[in-house]
Amino acid sequence: MSAQPDHAPVTPYAPAPGAPAELLAQLRADRRAERWVPAFEREWAAALEESRRTFSLAGLYEVVQDWQSRLAHAPAVDAFVASGYDDSEGVDMAELRGRRR
């Protein structure tokens, strides 16, 4: 019998050391910069404070991963919003706007 686990542990996500700075540069270049940069900076500051208290980088990694995902998915969200069709309700939003006028 072995003391080794019979499964491999999941390796936690760890961004590259320069990822937060690169991410901030991408956020500043985005058309949503006015809203997104302050939001990122607030989340980053909160995660940094938590990291200091807990001696864990997990919160910082999570902030980077969340914002990388938001940036990556922003074009798809923009396309969905621009389509005017909300398929979660089966309602054509452009049609609704036309009825209100």
For 25-79, the pLDDT digits (tens) are 999 999 999 999 999 999 999 999 999 999 999 999 999 999 999 999 999 988 8
Q: What's the pTM? A: 0.70
Instruction: Please list, in sequence order, all residues whose beta carbon lies within 8 angstroms of the beta carbon of residue 33, skipping any fewer than 6 positions away.
Output: 27
